[in-house]
Chains A and B, each alone.
Chain A
Amino acid sequence: MSSFRSTPDRKRLLGAGLTLVLLAQVTLPGLASEDEEKVAHVISRLSFGAKPGEIEAVEKEGIENYIRRQLHPDSQPLPADLEKLGQLDALAKDPVYLFLNYGKPAIKALAKSNGQGDKDDKEAKKIIGETYRRMYQEAALARVRRAVESPRELQEVMTDFWFNHFNISQEKGLDHVWIGSYEERAIRPYALGRFRDMLGATAHHAGMLFYLDNWQNTAASYKEERVTPAFAARFNKDQEAKLPARRNRFQGINENYARELMELHTLGVDGGYSQKDVQELARVLTGLGLPKGAGGGRGLGGPSGQEQMMFTQNQGAGAGVGTRRRGIRGAIIREYGGAETIVGNRELGYYFDPSRHDQGEKVLLGKVIKAEGEAEIEKVLDLLARHPSTARHISFKLAQYFVADKPPQTLVDKLSKSFSESDGDIPTVLNTLFHASEFYDKNYRGKKFKSPYRYVISSLRATDSRVEDVKPLLNFLKQTGQPLYQCLTPDGYKNTKEAWLNPDNLINRLNYATVLGTSRYPGITTRVKDPSQVADACTTDLSAATVSAVKQAPSQLKAALVLGSPEFMMY
Chain B
Amino acid sequence: MKRREFLKAAGLATLAGVLPGWDNSFGISAFALNERKAQDDHKLVVVFLRGALDGLSVLVPYDDARYYSVRPKIAIPKPGQEGGAIKLDGSFALHPNLAPLMPYWQNKTLSFVVNSGSPDPTRSHFDAQDYMESGMPGNKVVSTGWLNRVLKELPNNGSPVRALNVGATTPRILQGPIACATYAPTAKNRMNAMESPYIARAFEKMYSGRTDDLGVAFAEGMEARATINEKLSDQMTAADQGALQANKFSGFGRQVGRLIKEEPKIQVAFVDLGGFDTHVNQGASKGQLANNLNVVGKGLSELISSLGNTYEKTLIMVMSEFGRTVKENGNGGTDHGHGNFIWLLGGNVDGGKLHGNWSGLNDRALYEGRDLPVLTDFRSVLTDGISQHLGLSAKQTDAIFPGYSRKGAPLKVLKG
Contact = CB atoms under 8 A, between A and B. Distances in A.
B210 A218 contact: no
Contact of B193 (A213, A497, A511): A511
A481 B168 contact: yes
B214 A566 contact: yes
A110 to B, nearest CB: 25
B280 interface: yes
Contacts of A511: 190-194
Q: Report the 7 A-B pairs with minimum CB-CB distance, sorted nearest first.
A: A252-B330, A481-B168, A251-B330, A503-B221, A549-B205, A514-B193, A511-B191
Contact of A475 (B169, B189, B336): B189
Contact of A489 (B51, B123, B215): B51
B183 interface: yes
Contacts of A251: 329-331
The residue in A254, A482, A565 that gathers the most chain B C-beta atoms within 10 A of its C-beta is A254
A341 interface: no
Interface string B169-208: 1100001000111111001111111100001001101110
A275 B122 CA distance: 9
A545 B213 contact: no
A504 interface: yes
Given A269-B127, A497-B213, A502-B169, 9 more contacts: A213-B333, A216-B331, A254-B331, A482-B168, A502-B182, A510-B193, A512-B191, A553-B202, A561-B202
Contacts of A255: 335-336
A218 B330 contact: yes
B163 to A, nearest CB: 11
B222 interface: yes
Given A213-B280, A498-B143, A511-B192, A250 B182 contact: no
A501 B51 contact: no
B182 A478 contact: no
18 contacts: A216-B280, A249-B330, A269-B126, A275-B123, A475-B187, A481-B169, A489-B51, A501-B217, A502-B221, A503-B160, A503-B222, A505-B169, A505-B182, A505-B221, A515-B191, A545-B209, A549-B202, A561-B202
Nearest to A542: B206
A564 B207 CA distance: 10
Interface residues on B, range: 35 or more
Interface string B210-232: 10111101101110110000000
Contact of A216 (B169, B170, B330): B330
Interface string A58-88: 0000000000000000000000000000000
A256 interface: yes
B291 interface: no
Interface string B310-336: 000000000000000000011111011
B299 interface: no
A479 B331 contact: no
A503 B202 contact: no
Contact of B275 (A213, A488, A504): A488
B203 A479 contact: no
Interface of A: 213, 216, 218, 220, 247, 249-256, 259, 263, 269, 275, 278, 302, 472, 475-476, 478-482, 488-489, 491, 497-508, 510-512, 514-515, 543, 545-546, 548-549, 552-554, 557, 561, 564-566, 569
B69 interface: no
Contacts of B225: 504, 507
B224 A510 contact: no
B353 to A, nearest CB: 35
B274 interface: yes
B167 interface: yes
B125 interface: yes
B241 interface: no
B32 interface: no
B279 A564 contact: no
A515 B190 CA distance: 11
Given A507-B194, A507-B221, A546-B206, A499 B169 contact: yes
A498 B175 contact: yes
B168 A252 contact: no
B330 A250 contact: yes
A483 B277 CA distance: 20
Contacts of B205: 545, 548-549, 552
A505 B206 CA distance: 17
A562 to B, nearest CB: 10
Given A250-B330, A553-B202, A478 B280 contact: no
Interface class of chain A by DSSP:
helix
A358 B30 CA distance: 64
Contacts of B246: 478
A254 B330 contact: yes
Contacts, number: 172
B124 interface: yes
Interface of B: 50-51, 122-127, 143, 160, 165, 167-170, 175, 179-184, 187-194, 199, 202-203, 205-207, 209-210, 212-215, 217-218, 220-222, 224-225, 246, 274-275, 277, 279-281, 329-333, 335-336, 368
A501 B170 CA distance: 8
A255 B329 CA distance: 10
A564 B203 contact: yes
A488 B272 CA distance: 13
Contacts of A482: 168
Contact of A569 (B123, B194, B214, B222): B214
B100 to A, nearest CB: 25
B214 A489 contact: no
Contacts of B222: 503, 507
Contacts of A269: 122, 124, 126-127
A250 B330 CA distance: 6
A475 B186 CA distance: 11
B194 A565 contact: no
Nearest to B215: A566
A506 B168 CA distance: 10
Given A216-B331, A549-B205, A557-B199, A479 B184 contact: yes
A252 B194 contact: no
A249 B190 CA distance: 43
Q: With a 10 A CB-CB cut-off, give which of B188, B206, B275 has the most chain A CB atoms.
A: B206
A433 B191 CA distance: 39
Contacts of B170: 498-499, 502
A278 B122 CA distance: 12
Contact of A566 (B50, B207, B275): B207
A503 B190 contact: no
Given A500-B169, A549-B202, A478 B193 contact: no
A493 to B, nearest CB: 9
Nearest to B189: A475
A478 B187 contact: yes
A422 to B, nearest CB: 29
Contacts of A220: 330
Contacts of B190: 479, 511
Contacts of A479: 168, 184, 187, 190
Contacts of A253: 329-330
A504 B182 contact: yes
A251 B281 CA distance: 12
A285 to B, nearest CB: 14
A513 to B, nearest CB: 8
Nearest to A282: B335
Contacts of B187: 475, 478-479
B193 A515 contact: yes
B208 to A, nearest CB: 8
B330 A508 contact: no
